[in-house]
Amino acid sequence: MNILDLKGENALITGAGQGVGRQIALHFAAHNAGCVYVNDFSAERANAVVAEIRATGARAEAVPCDVSDFRAMQEKLEPLDIRMLVNNAGNAGADPSKVGRGEFWEQAPEQWTPWLGVNLLGVMNASRLVLPKMIIASRGSIVTIISDAGRVGEPRLEVYSAAKAGAAGFSRALAKSAGRYGVRVNCVAISATRTPATARAMDNPDFAKRALSNYVIRRFGEPSDVANMVLFVSSDAASWVTGQTYPVNGGYDFGM
């Protein structure tokens, strides 16, 4: 008996064109998800992951759009029947050059929008659009990838930290609202994880030595570390788990 079998349920993974999201999509496909819907703002990346999944014999479809754009998401998602949602899309979206850098008190408010749009509003948009059919079916799982920045705060990432903390608070509240309809809502909090965006820095020995001095387990996270936890929390193995945040962080922080 495979307790992580996803029993043919359809899944949507946002920001799944690379990195952690891609690995979650591959994990779900390998564990008997019905159709894995691969979202990314880049259609090219989404289609590449879909091709990778289909090559294994599993089902997948691309859902290219910006999660921060409710109307675009609505057009793509309303026809779909989703039972598992993973809100993985993060960072600063399609144009990270627009985000605020440096000290918070030197930033302009418009520089906060990319952080908030992807990491908070994107979570709310996708959740809002998949929930009605989950509630009708009396079953479903929503997992949101947050960050240790949202749990303990990171200097010079105040708005990003706020957005991730907001997504966690939203998830806890939604867990209380949706639980009576058989829908579970949880978070997975991650720290320094190797992705195409971080690999160059992590391969620098000086950077790695400094960064890893803050970790109990002296290595960076891998996408599979996160995907393993997301798979568990999404599956029926966690059928009595909701409203929780699970850190996957190599011991970066032990805070509750």
What is the Cα–Cα distance from 111 to 109, expressed in whole angstroms?
5
**Which residues 6+ apart lie within 8 Å of 97 measured at CB?**
none
CA torsion sign, 64 to 70 to 75 to 80?
positive
Which tokens hold the place of 22?
A: 């891609």
Q: Are 167 and 87 spatial neighbours (Cβ–Cβ below 8 Å)? A: yes
Please write down the long-range contacts of 68-72, taking CB distance under 8 Å and 24 or more positions apart. 68/93, 68/117, 68/118, 68/121, 68/122, 68/125, 69/125, 70/121, 70/125, 70/128
Q: What's the full length of the chain, in residues?
A: 256
Write the DSSP string, 206-240: HHHHHHHTT-SS-S-B-HHHHHHHHHHHHSGGGTT
Which tokens hold the place of 129?
A: 């659009």
What is the 3-class SS of 131-164, one letter each residue? HHHHHHHCCEEEEEEEEHHHHHCCCCCHHHHHHH
Active site residue 160: yes
* Catalytic entry in 160, 215, 246, 252: 160
What is the Cα–Cα distance from 47 to 44, expressed in whole angstroms?
5
What are the catalytic residues? Answer: 160
